[in-house]
């Protein structure tokens, strides 16, 4: 696990955007396609906006979601709303190359299987994503892999639906999908994350984030999030 500490959240976000852009250019040049999955939450907002200003071969890029709340179209707490506002509305990504999680389906468990097949069609079987962007919750969760949820022990599927957390079920990539990625990019900012960053860096298996593979992982922190490791 490589760790970089940036001066503040804005600098960490710009660095994350530059890493994604470089990975996209490399993958497009060598494999003709760049397939990435991005997380939601408030932390990546600046990263998305910085990425829109980077040199990215969008015609060769496919964007998937790491996780999404099971909620109606347009719901304010949908990760897709943040992604659209921060990135998609600012870039020339072909509409067919955005692959939103089908959380509006009547049968979301079946829809998770459909999304699994989407991953396989884009990244092989089993799918190997070029890049996965992850955040870190103050409780140690990442993606929608939340302590106590049965999905944490689901190694047969690459996409699954959780129980109810914060009033919503969630569709999420599982460890099986996340841990195959060529690059795992963590972006973690804020002093409220410092205590759990320490546990992430020690590979603490008692938090969901601690079970993400360490090799091929880059952790970008601001100074506040890195405070307990100083």
Summarised one tens digit per residue, pLDDT across range 73-112 is 888 889 999 999 999 999 999 999 999 999 999 999 999 9
Structure tokens at 120: 């396989």
Domain that holds residue 38: 2-229
- Please give the span between the terminal C-alpha atoms of the chain, in angstroms, as a whole number: 17
Asked whether the beta carbons of 77 and 69 are under 8 A apart, the reply is yes
Beta bridge partners of 145: 142
pLDDT in tens, 117-161: 999 999 999 999 999 999 999 999 999 999 999 999 999 999 999
CA distance 214 to 134: 13
Asked whether the beta carbons of 79 and 39 are under 8 A apart, the reply is yes
- In this prediction the pTM is 0.94
Asked whether the beta carbons of 73 and 176 are under 8 A apart, the reply is no
- We report the CATH number of the domain holding residue 30 as 3.40.50.1360
Cβ atoms within 10 Å, residue 145: 28
Asked whether the beta carbons of 52 and 91 are under 8 A apart, the reply is yes
pLDDT band per the 50, 70, 90 thresholds, residue 230: very low
* Domain count for the chain: 1
């Amino acid at each position: 696990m490589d760790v970089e500490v940036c001066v503040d959240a804005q600098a960490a976000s710009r660095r994350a955007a530059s890493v994604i852009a470089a990975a996209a250019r490399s993958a497009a040049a060598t494999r003709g396609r760049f397939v990435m999955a991005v997380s939601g939450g408030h932390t990546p907002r600046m990263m998305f906006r910085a990425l829109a200003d980077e040199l990215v071969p969008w015609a060769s890029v496919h964007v998937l979601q790491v996780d999404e709340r099971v909620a109606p179209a347009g719901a304010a707490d949908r990760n897709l709303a943040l992604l659209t506002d921060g990135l998609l509305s600012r870039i020339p990504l072909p509409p067919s190359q955005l692959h939103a999680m089908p959380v509006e389906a009547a049968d979301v468990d079946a829809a998770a299987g459909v999304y699994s097949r989407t991953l396989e069609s884009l990244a092989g079987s089993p799918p190997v994503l070029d890049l996965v962007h992850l955040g870190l919750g103050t409780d140690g969760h990442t993606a929608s892999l939340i302590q106590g949820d049965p999905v944490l022990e689901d190694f047969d599927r690459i996409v699954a639906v959780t129980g109810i957390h914060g009033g919503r079920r969630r569709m999420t990539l599982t460890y099986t999908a996340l841990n195959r990625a060529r690059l795992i990019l963590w972006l973690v900012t804020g002093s409220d994350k410092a205590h759990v960053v320490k546990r992430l860096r020690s590979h603490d298996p008692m938090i969901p984030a601690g079970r993400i593979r360490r090799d091929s992982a880059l952790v970008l922190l601001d100074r506040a999030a890195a405070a307990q490791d100083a």
